[in-house]
Amino acid sequence: MADENAVGGFGTRVYFIPSAGMDPKSAQILMGHGYVTVNLKGAHYRSGGNLWQKIFGGSDKVSLSTQITHMTGVTSASCTSIEEVRKIDVGHPFYFGSGRFIALKLPTDCDGIEMAVTMSAIKSDNLSGALDILNSGELKGTLQMAPPAVSGALAIANVVKKLLTATDPQNNLQGSYAGRLSTASSDNPIRDFCLVQGTIILIYRESDDDTSLDDLDPGKLSTDGDGLKYDGQVMQNTYVMFQVSFDQLRGEDHNSQWSGMFSTAEQALDQLLTVTADADRQKIWATAYATFQQAVKLLMVDPSYTSDEATGIAALHLTSLRKKYTTSGGQPAPAPAHVELPRVAASFLESFQTNDVEKIASNYLSRLARANVALPGRMAR
């Protein structure tokens, strides 16, 4: 059990508690199967202080910063935030209560997602003031893959990195876990550094003489709110906990440009009620379908979506478009022309026959219902 739920050596060790009802193997997240959300579940700081602090007392000014990175073979997007800056009395443990989302529904069409944390004892008053400013709520970033969100997160991340490297603060804890995404299941996801659903825990070994983690059994770790316990007792070491959750689908973003274009395509077919000649109907269809094609092109390059869900959304809108055409007197339903669609699944390109597209659309609607995601034009149950 210990080997299955822990990795690392001296310094920061990584432990894992699977989500309720899961074992480590079933908790693995596979590439392209959905979306990952990460929140900072909690953090605990403890310092015995230096010799003078132990004799005369004193305090540390401590900052807690996080970084989340969405990694692909050629590009990456990251978000770095100062989560908290506190003055903590030496010898007194302190809990950084959080629960804040640091990543929201990142698509798993990538190579991996890395969570990193730095807990620093700040020695510079100038740096302390700057970090206090960055600790404000509006400057705490949450990584999302929509382009405006990515650019904003990058700007904040660059400022934080410059501050933390300019004055070389004395780091008390620095650790990371890069969760790998693959298409195949692993017999031991934590050993193989796979991304998993559950609580990722970074525990700091404080010195060469600290033996508290040598025989630690991960099976005896448990969480209590934003705190960590071992065998029912409060964990004394400095640690940070990340909660990783998973969703198969996110549903259609009705504020996106491509969603508006899908609606425009369907609205174009309203003109069918005003014409009777088949040639005029064909012209109206051609206009609507051209708009649909442009919407699909935008959807397939939207970094917020997996290729799998984008395919389902496109199929759903094509089915709706065809149904509206036929019910408005367009007979027979026209076979759409081939169009090159970047990042679209090959199965969709090969499924421009009516029955196949309808099957993909029906399957996507069923998955939305099972996931309790709002259906098009409806509210979630």
Q: Which pLDDT does position 179 carry in this prediction?
A: 92
44 in helix, strand or coil?
strand
Q: Are residues 167 and 307 in the same domain?
A: no
Q: Are residues 101 and 135 in the same domain?
A: yes
Per-residue pLDDT of 78-90, as tens digits, reads 887 777 777 777 6
The answer to whether 118 touches 139, Cβ cutoff 8 Å, is no
The residue out of 213, 247, 281 marking a domain boundary is: 247
Q: Which pLDDT does position 191 carry in this prediction?
A: 85
Percent pLDDT > 90 in the chain is: 30
Q: Mean pLDDT over residues 336-358, rounded?
A: 50
Give the mean pLDDT of the chain: 77
Q: Which pLDDT does position 33 carry in this prediction?
A: 92
- In angstroms, rounded to a whole number, what is the distance separating the alpha carbons of residues 213 and 211? 6
Per-residue pLDDT of 56-75, as tens digits, reads 445 667 778 888 999 987 77
Q: Which pLDDT does position 3 carry in this prediction?
A: 45
Q: Are residues 33 and 163 in the same domain?
A: yes
- In angstroms, rounded to a whole number, what is the distance separating the alpha carbons of residues 350 and 322? 17
> In 31-111, where do the E strands start and end?
35-45, 59-71, 76-89, 94-96, 101-107
Q: Are residues 232 and 264 in the same domain?
A: no
Check residues 101 and 137 and name the one with the higher pLDDT.
101
Angle, vertex CA 342, rays to CA 340 and CA 347, nearest 5: 75
Per-residue pLDDT of 338-347, as tens digits, reads 444 444 444 4
- 268: closest CA among 253, 283, 257, 278? 283
Q: Are residues 99 and 117 in the same domain?
A: yes
Per-residue pLDDT of 126-157, as tens digits, reads 445 545 544 555 445 676 655 444 444 444 55
Q: Are residues 95 and 174 in the same domain?
A: yes
Q: Is residue 167 situated within a structural domain?
A: yes
Tokens of 378: 């409806």
The answer to whether 80 touches 66, Cβ cutoff 8 Å, is yes
Q: Are residues 240 and 336 in the same domain?
A: no
Q: Are residues 128 and 277 in the same domain?
A: no
Model confidence at 247: pLDDT above 70: yes
Confidence of residue 222 (pLDDT cuts 50, 70, 90): very high
Q: Are residues 235 and 287 in the same domain?
A: no
Q: Which pLDDT does position 343 carry in this prediction?
A: 43
Name the strand (E) or helix (H) holding 278: helix 278-300
Per-residue pLDDT of 156-184, as tens digits, reads 555 555 555 544 445 456 788 999 999 99
Model confidence at 223: pLDDT above 80: yes
- In angstroms, rounded to a whole number, what is the distance separating the alpha carbons of residues 129 and 77? 28
Percent pLDDT > 70 in the chain is: 69
Q: Is residue 252 situated within a structural domain?
A: no
Which has the minimum average pLDDT: 88-97, 101-110, 163-172?
A: 163-172
Q: Are residues 186 and 267 in the same domain?
A: no
Q: Which pLDDT does position 135 carry in this prediction?
A: 52
The residue out of 247, 276, 306 marking a domain boundary is: 247
Q: Is residue 376 situated within a structural domain?
A: no
**Beta-carbon contacts of residue 8 (< 8 Å; ≥ 6 apart):** 14
Q: Are residues 263 and 243 in the same domain?
A: no
The count of structural domains within the chain is 2
Q: Are residues 226 and 273 in the same domain?
A: no
Domain residues for 210? 6-247
Residue with tokens 């070491």: 237
Confidence of residue 264 (pLDDT cuts 50, 70, 90): very high
Q: Which pLDDT does position 161 carry in this prediction?
A: 54
**Beta-carbon contacts of residue 222 (< 8 Å; ≥ 6 apart):** 17, 228, 229, 230, 232
The residue out of 229, 247, 265 marking a domain boundary is: 247
**Beta-carbon contacts of residue 10 (< 8 Å; ≥ 6 apart):** 205, 208
